Amino acid sequence: MSAKATKGGTLLRVAGVTVRFGGITAIDNVSFEVRQGELLGLIGPNGAGKTTMLRAITGVVRATEGQVELDGERIDGLPIDRRIHRGLALSQQLVKPFREISVIDNVALAAGSAKTASPLKSLLHVARDEELATARRMLERVGIAQHADQRPAIQPLGVLKRLEMARALALKPRLLLLDEPLAGLNSREARSMADTIAEINRQGVTIVLIEHNLGEVMRICQRLVVLDNGRKIADGEPRAVMDDPAVRAAYLGGDAVAAPAVQSAEGAVHA
């Protein structure tokens, strides 16, 4: 067993992970590491296998081969709830809060569930001052404390995206996995959300970010891992990665030779 992660040490290690669904290989022998305190972008064109990789890390899907380690301990054989208790949290692209209870109660539920694997028991925790205090801090952290007593059913997408992130942060993760948190937002909202993600990272949360908005990815991420057709094709500093001919070809098709401009908030990649 490796030593516990220190600042800059390895927190997440993915080693030779392969995921197959019947005869389809969604992830093909992918390895990478995430260092403590890092904000890493996991990028690639549509269908590259990015979300499947996050699901393999969290246990939503089971890896056919390979290992996943968190802070030096293997977690690939653990059920989802035990991986969460070890320090993983996933903020999903499709936001599904409990829409008929308040925003703060949604986050308090997550804070309570950190203490138990039972959703029913987590409901009992929301009456506790500790969980509500944690929920309010998380709402302040993501910038939507003013919506605390409102119902998610009446909130715009930008608020719901931040609510999803607040619920993940309420689990007090060592590693926060974000699946397309900027999707569906306009350019102003996307930039503001990216600033919030960068600030959370500066506060000490290690983050893996899946995102198609390459402009914001390039602006806030310290390192990029690129997948294409389930395989890793690049890993390194953002500008060097985006200048890699294999990455340009993956995004532009064929034998692209011109360096692409970063993706705009509307999602267009151009040379």
Residue 236 to residues 41, 42, 262, Cα–Cα distance (Å): 10, 11, 16
Written as one letter, the residue type at 213 is N
For CATH 3.40.50.300, list the domain ranges present in the chain. 1-87+173-271
Angle formed by the axes of helices 157-169 and 103-113, nearest 10°: 20
Tokens 């008929």 map to which residue? 100
pLDDT at 5: 60
Cβ atoms of residues 80 and 59 within 8 Å = yes
C-alpha 227/C-alpha 161 separation (Å) is 25
pLDDT at 98: 87
pLDDT at 269: 33
pTM of the predicted model, to two decimals? 0.86
Q: Residue 164: in which H helix or E strand, if any?
A: helix 157-169
pLDDT at 7: 64
Cβ atoms of residues 179 and 54 within 8 Å = yes
In the DSSP assignment, the letter for residue 142 is H
Cα 58 vs. chain centroid, distance in angstroms?
A: 10
* Sequence-distant (≥ 6) Cβ neighbours of residue 227 within 8 angstroms: 27, 30, 42, 43, 44, 48, 49, 50, 53, 233
C-alpha 236/C-alpha 224 separation (Å) is 6
Question: How would you write the pLDDT of the chain (271 residues) with one tens digit per residue?
Answer: 344 565 679 999 999 999 999 999 999 999 999 999 999 999 999 999 999 999 999 999 999 999 999 999 999 999 999 999 899 999 887 788 888 899 999 999 888 865 555 545 555 554 568 889 999 999 999 999 999 999 999 999 999 999 999 999 999 999 999 999 999 999 999 999 999 999 999 999 999 999 999 999 999 999 999 999 999 999 999 999 999 999 999 988 744 333 333 333 333 332 2
C-alpha 28/C-alpha 229 separation (Å) is 8
pLDDT at 112: 80
Homologous superfamily, domain 1-87+173-271 = P-loop containing nucleotide triphosphate hydrolases (3.40.50.300)
